[in-house]
Amino acid sequence: MTDPTPDFVAELEVVVGPPLSLGPGPNGERRVIPILGGSLTGPRLTGEVLPGGADYQLIRPDGVAEIEARYALRLSDGALVYVVNRGLRHAAPEDMARLLRGEPVPPDRVYFRTAPVFETATPAHAWLTRSLFLGLGERRPDSVRIRIFAV
């Protein structure tokens, strides 16, 4: 058995709207962040992020953000792809507070990893449903950048 070699697939640039806080609950603060659109560029996939998705977050009492984003892509050949992207984001308390206020934080100070799962009816892109993927994320004030690798 050999160690996996990550294969760069594409980079997502997702434009997001202001977060909607649903308030604190027994497990932490629930937030919904609308996905307004974006782009997908890379050696294996290109296209656009369609508006209408959302990132559903739970900000736990320990400061870790549990992320579950659901959205759709339209690839450059017209194929549609549904994405469920779950992950974790955390940083030092002062950096997490800045992120939650929508302020920039250098990406090297934030742990932001996701595991996107893809679904498509297009045979040419069935490979997306047959591999595991890792996303390396960066939160910006009005967007999210995620570099996606097949592993």
pLDDT digit string (tens) for 106-133?
A: 999 999 999 999 999 999 999 999 999 9
Classify domain 7-150 by CATH number. Answer: 2.40.160.20
CA distance 139 to 145: 7
Residues in the chain: 151
Distance of alpha carbon 27 from its chain centroid, rounded?
A: 21
pLDDT digit string (tens) for 62-113?
A: 999 999 999 999 999 999 999 999 999 999 999 988 887 888 899 999 999 9
Domain locations in the chain as residue ranges: 7-150
CA distance 145 to 88: 14
CA distance 127 to 131: 7
Query: Across residues 18-41, what is the average pLDDT?
Result: 96
